[in-house]
Amino acid sequence: MKSWIIKLVKFLAGVFFILIICIMILSLFPKDSVRLRIAIDGHPITALKCHPKYFSKSEKYFRKPAYSIQSRYGYPSFDGSYEVYNFKVQKYVVFNFAEHII
């Protein structure tokens, strides 16, 4: 019985490790970090279909690189108070993290 539990724990740890590696690889590029953010927000199909575009004029305003998705791929925020179309991307070492722009 204990060997079955140990095998299950090892399997789940392996799956978790592979998931973490995939997330880290997706956050290496800004466009992929935007897609990762969309998927984490609960819209994985939208993340696969959308094509984030660099929005150069807004970098002066937000002081960070900004990316936008087409309005047809927009989705409601977590609390439903606004539609999400724009993201700012922050870089830490080699990893990029996207955040919503309100």
51-64 tens-digit pLDDT: 999 987 777 777 88
Q: In what order do the strands lie in the sheet with 53-54?
A: 53-54, 66-68, 86-92, 95-100
CA-to-CA distance for 34 and 68, rounded, in angstroms? Answer: 9
The predicted model gives 70-99 an average pLDDT of 89
- Helix 2-26 vs helix 30-40: angle between axes, to the nearest 10 degrees? 130
Query: With 90 as the cut, is the pLDDT of residue 79 above it?
Result: no
- Mean pLDDT value across the chain: 88
Map out the domains of the chain as residue ranges. 2-100
Confidence of residue 49 (pLDDT cuts 50, 70, 90): very high
Contact between residue 97 and residue 33 where contact means Cβ atoms under 8 Å apart: yes
